[in-house]
């Protein structure tokens, strides 16, 4: 089983996200690996629903874990997160959301090969689209991750 290191504790994830992804998100706290390291959502950006913001933060964390902090030979691309479960509870007067995601990805170099193969072969005689997507699915890594959010300020 492939595992990825948790991101180091960060005193200003808002600034890291701004400089790395050019996204200004009203966050504090940490990367959400536990209640003690929850990502604190201080406000909702204009017009952004809570579920979308949580998904975005989790996707950013996955890109950092699986791509940006990895050596080139071990980077993953085509990273997607899909929510599979959520629960909310209170602790010490704070409201926490525990969200479980299924994160899928393909080794970056392999994904580039699949994209090239698809672009060169699509609608050409002899290109087996079903076989292509079968191999892509077989090459896909699937992992289950939990992300804790502290949402007291926006409830």
Residue 45 lies in a domain: yes
Report the predicted TM-score, pTM, of the whole model to 2 decimal places: 0.91
Find the domain containing 29 and state its range.
13-107+141-154
Tell me how far apart the alpha carbons of residues 129 and 74 are, in angstroms, rounded to a whole number. 27
Least confident of 9-13, 14-18, 149-153: 9-13
Check: CB of residue 147 under 8 Å from CB of residue 88.
no
Residue 84 lies in a domain: yes
Residue 120 lies in a domain: no
Look at the chain and report how many structural domains it folds into.
1
Q: What is the pLDDT of residues 127-149, one digit of tens each?
A: 988 999 999 999 999 999 999 99
Residue 134 lies in a domain: no
Check: CB of residue 116 under 8 Å from CB of residue 127.
no
Work out the pLDDT band at 1, boundaries 50, 70, 90: low
Check: CB of residue 66 under 8 Å from CB of residue 60.
no
């Amino acid at each position: 089983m492939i595992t990825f290191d948790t991101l180091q504790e960060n005193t200003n994830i808002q600034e890291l996200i701004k400089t790395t992804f050019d996204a200004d998100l009203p966050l504090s706290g940490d990367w959400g690996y536990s209640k003690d390291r929850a990502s604190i959502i201080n406000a909702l950006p204009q017009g952004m629903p809570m579920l979308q913001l949580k998904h975005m933060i989790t996707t950013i964390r996955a890109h950092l874990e699986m791509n940006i902090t990895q050596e080139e030979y071990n980077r993953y691309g085509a990273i997607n997160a899909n929510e599979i479960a959520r629960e909310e509870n209170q602790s010490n007067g704070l409201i926490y959301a525990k969200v479980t995601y299924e994160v899928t990805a393909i080794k970056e170099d392999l994904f580039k090969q699949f994209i090239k193969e698809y672009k060169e072969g699509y609608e050409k005689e002899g290109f087996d689209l079903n076989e292509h997507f079968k191999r892509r699915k077989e090459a896909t890594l699937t992992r289950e991750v939990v992300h804790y959010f502290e949402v007291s300020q926006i409830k």
